Structure 1
């Protein structure tokens, strides 16, 4: 039944980082994993604000890094991709390419229901979720893109030039901004994140 189909074994409860690449030359692709959500953490190798989706829409050559949690019942879940286009179905390859996410010890299988090849609404919803810039969110009052609690001073004092306590090795994830008055002078201190070798900070001044 599964001859020739790529299989990726996973264990229930584990998290996996997947890099999805659209290797098609001309086509956009829908991509889904049956019964699983995906958390997008990077697009084209650049980190992005994480967001959860059940479908990816990738343009030709585009790359998406996503986190997948194996949190479903033990089974074989199909990963599937198909073309998105606004052209007539007669002029495209409307087949579906698949691989299998196989929970260790599973027997049954589940297949995702992909959108129709010309489902522009799904593409639009995905783009809106993934492409909201910070300034766009600020001007149009879009929620859940950033927070305004960026600290004016380091919230925790430690030896910034080395010998960092292990409790500070893991950064806190977040997209935080600091709103400054027009024409204000701001000093920004850039500090390296090397925890094994001391780095000297760099200073920059800017007038807004």
Structure 2
């Protein structure tokens, strides 16, 4: 078994830690015993420095964190702990650990033999995961300008749900509801990869029959998305390969609404090909009249992954200026394999540098 990783630091120095959550299934809390952390960047973009006791980081997300080596010369545990809001999802409650150790001389030997552990939130502490979301703000100064779309041409509202579907080919499977298998959806469509083809090549080569272009701007049914005891018929989504086509340089506002269809849980959503401004978030159902009044349009964080809180919502904005075929999906691996995904096609602009490049000749098939 490999030895525990140790990070050696010198007292009085400040270190930049680049942290990525390489887990496939869990949002993680991360902290270092007796040390504050200063978050200075998320997903490759600078933010106003935020000093915290721990960070909350989603699968695939990155954070730049400053560590001040200002504690007594000793050894301290660095630890990560899984967050999971659904009581029905099994996961390991154990911490994964490494050791922060101060370089020392004979005159300043450590006083303890067992490193102390950081204080991390409980594994089901949803409020703790959102505290950080409230604090993240772009630098938004003359040296780091931002460009939040203020006039919106395309408004979208997508629900994200955990669902069930009948077992394949009429076979029996040990699913949670009536023996059905688990599924997931966006706007009640469980995404299906086209067999024997891919959307990018079909779009570029104008091949019909691979996908549809009717992904809905709104969910097909308006209901109490985060309510309890929801009707059973909501469990079953449709299945298909539908895309949403965006005009070049259209300005998009997308509200991502979590639901309590089968179970309410967190959803870290990632958009390939783009970063976006996270202009708002909240618990419960999004209120299109009241909630936009509290948007941060001055210095919102610029990210490519954002976590929808359990039974909550987030609002993002971006300008569709990167032509191509772009996958948006949950970064929990089980959810994306169940169908919690969709695809944007962003059309070409008029100039040569505003057009999608052809697929490489060695592009692998799906």
Structure 1-normalised TM-score? Answer: 0.61
Alignment partner of 1:94: what SS?
A: coil
Aligned pairs, number: 141
**Moved runs in structure 1, 4+ residues, more than 6 A?**
132-137
Which deviations, in whole Å up to 9, do the C-alpha atoms of 1:60-94 show, x marking residues without a partner?
A: 11110011110111110110001001122771111
Which structure 1 residue ranges, 5 or more long, are not aligned?
147-208
Alignment partner of 2:15: what SS?
A: strand
2:294 & 2:84 partners in 1: Cα distance?
Answer: 30
1:54 & 1:89 partners in 2: Cα distance?
Answer: 29
**Aligned counterpart for 1:120 among listed residues 107, 122, 126:** 126
Alignment of 1:33-182 (within 5 A): 33-88=32-87, 91-105=90-104, 106-107=109-110, 108=112, 109-130=115-136
Contact 1:9–1:104 (Cα < 8 Å) also in 2: yes
Which deviations, in whole Å up to 9, do the C-alpha atoms of 1:5-40 show, x marking residues without a partner?
A: 100111110000001110001210000011111111
Which structure 2 residue ranges, 5 or more long, are not aligned?
141-147, 149-278, 281-292, 301-366
RMSD: 2.7
Which deviations, in whole Å up to 9, do the C-alpha atoms of 1:114-169 show, x marking residues without a partner?
A: 111001111111111125897869x7599xx79xxxxxxxxxxxxxxxxxxxxxxx
Distance 1:96-1:141 versus aligned 2 partners, 3 A rule: closer
1:61 & 1:15 partners in 2: Cα distance?
Answer: 25
Structure 2-normalised TM-score? Answer: 0.35
Stretch deviating more after TM superposition (88-97 or 98-107): 88-97
Contact 1:75–1:110 (Cα < 8 Å) also in 2: no
Match of 2:317?
A: none
